């Protein structure tokens, strides 16, 4: 029975194979059986099969939500902590919702207003949160490698919610899921990543994931933000959006990350817009069924115009919705092994 109490403690991981309203029962436990990882640090570290498996499980969770099963109890008794040392709207809220939709409790930590201002170190802060009985820590930090450092110091699972310009694995996964939903497969597609590639963790995670699933990737932007060394990752580079437009099945428009730049990479935002903003005129010269993605936050009039952001090629809000099911999938894959076997057997 979901949520039964054993010896005064709430049981963990109820309803592993069940559902709460209607539909065929899903054997959620079977999805995690071959999962080997304790952390989600970056898509560089995952195989094509693992990435496909996360996408497939995310589809199952999305389907469960559509069927009205917004409150699964798979992770009842578990706690997920959000440790955000940088601002976030999408990632933080969707990790929080994902955890809640799996039945977990959440802890919300922001560096602003915390005891870090009194000199407590990052590791001590994370260990303090973990000591409150946390099973997974979701971390965003401006310094690349921060989640990897935490993974060495904590026993619980660590999920990278963006480490500086390095990786943003759940963003890469939700972008790829959105493309797969609209195109069926990634194999053979040409995906253009446009904008500030140099400072983009989303670009890196997309490149790892897209390449592993068989897409051709073009990174395009000003020469100061797109160097030839990206070709070492197996992608094509371009500085001329107008040249690559007719070849792209998907355009993912990345934000200019002024906060990570030490010097201005182009003369003006106006000039950037003239050369790289997605406009209705550029849309008219693109493939008729081109998909427009943007990880956000979007800056209307810089990476894209409002007509494009709100037009029928745009799947920007689908990306946001997919973020929840992707994060449910990764939380379940990382934590399912801690669900007591009697709960798994109950299904
Ligand atoms: N795409 C993304 O990471 O958005 P947030 O900064 O709002 O989380």
Domain ranges of the chain: 5-166+323-339, 169-321
Q: What is the CATH number of domain 5-166+323-339?
A: 3.40.50.1370
136 by DSSP, 3-state: which?
Answer: strand
pLDDT of the residue at 14: 61
Q: State in Å: Cα 131 to ligand 1 middle.
A: 27
Do the first three CATH levels of 5-166+323-339 and 169-321 match, i.e. the same topology?
A: yes
Tokens 């669900």 correspond to 339
pLDDT of the residue at 237: 98
Question: 83, 171, 199, 253: which to mutate for ligand 1, most atoms within 8 A of CB?
Answer: 171
Ligand 1 atom at shortest distance from the alpha carbon of 296: 1
pLDDT of the residue at 247: 98
- List the structure tokens of 89: 């709207």
pLDDT of the residue at 270: 87
Q: Which of 196, 253, 203, 204 is nearest to 226 (CA)?
A: 196
Cα–Cα distances in angstroms (integers) from residue 198 to residues 137, 167, 242, 256, 319, in the given order: 27, 12, 20, 10, 22
Which residues' Cβ are closer than 6 Å to ligand 1? 88-91, 162, 168, 171, 295-297
264 phi, psi to nearest 5 deg = -70, 125
Task: Give Cβ neighbours of residue 222 (< 8 Å, ≥ 6 apart).
Answer: 239, 265, 266, 272, 275, 276
Global confidence as pTM: 0.91
Task: Report residues of the chain scoring pLDDT below 70.
Answer: 1-11, 13-24, 69-70, 258, 260-262, 267, 342-347
CA atoms within 13 A on the CB side of 237: 17
Cα–Cα distances in angstroms (integers) from residue 44 to residues 57, 201, 210, 325, in the given order: 20, 12, 11, 21
Q: Which CATH number fits domain 169-321: 3.40.50.1370, 3.60.21.10, 3.40.50.2000, 2.90.10.10?
A: 3.40.50.1370
pLDDT of the residue at 17: 56
């Amino acid at each position: 029975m979901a949520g039964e109490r054993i010896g005064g403690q709430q049981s963990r991981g109820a309803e592993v194979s069940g559902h709460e309203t209607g539909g065929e029962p899903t054997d959620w436990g079977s999805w995690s059986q071959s999962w080997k990882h304790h952390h989600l640090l970056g898509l560089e570290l995952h195989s094509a099969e693992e990435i496909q498996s996360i996408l497939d499980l995310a589809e199952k969770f999305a389907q469960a939500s559509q069927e009205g099963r917004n409150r699964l109890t798979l992770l009842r008794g578990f706690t997920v902590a959000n440790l955000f040392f940088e601002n976030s709207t999408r990632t933080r809220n969707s990790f929080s919702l994902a955890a809640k939709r799996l039945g977990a409790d959440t802890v919300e930590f922001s560096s602003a207003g915390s005891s870090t201002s009194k000199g407590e170190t990052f590791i001590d802060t994370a260990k303090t949160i973990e000591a409150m009985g946390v099973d997974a820590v979701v971390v965003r930090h401006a310094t690349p490698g921060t989640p990897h450092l935490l993974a060495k110091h904590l026993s619980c699972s660590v999920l990278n919610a963006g480490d500086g310009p390095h990786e943003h694995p759940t963003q890469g996964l939700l972008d790829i899921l959105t493309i797969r939903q609209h195109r069926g497969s990634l194999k053979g597609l040409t995906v253009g990543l446009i904008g500030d590639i140099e400072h983009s963790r989303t670009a890196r995670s997309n490149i790892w994931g897209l390449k592993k699933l068989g897409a051709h990737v073009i990174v395009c932007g000003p020469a100061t933000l797109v160097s030839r060394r990206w070709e070492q990752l197996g992608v094509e580079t371009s500085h001329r959006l107008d040249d690559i437009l007719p070849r792209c099945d998907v355009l993912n428009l990345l934000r200019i990350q002024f906060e990570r730049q030490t010097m201005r990479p182009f003369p003006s935002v106006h000039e950037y817009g003239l050369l790289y903003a997605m406009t209705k005129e550029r849309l008219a010269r693109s493939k008729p069924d081109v998909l427009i993605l943007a990880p956000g936050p979007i800056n209307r009039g810089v990476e894209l115009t409002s007509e494009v952001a709100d037009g029928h090629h745009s799947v920007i809000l689908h990306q946001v919705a997919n973020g929840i099911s992707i994060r449910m999938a990764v939380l379940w894959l990382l934590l399912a092994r801690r669900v007591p076997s009697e709960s798994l057997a109950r299904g």
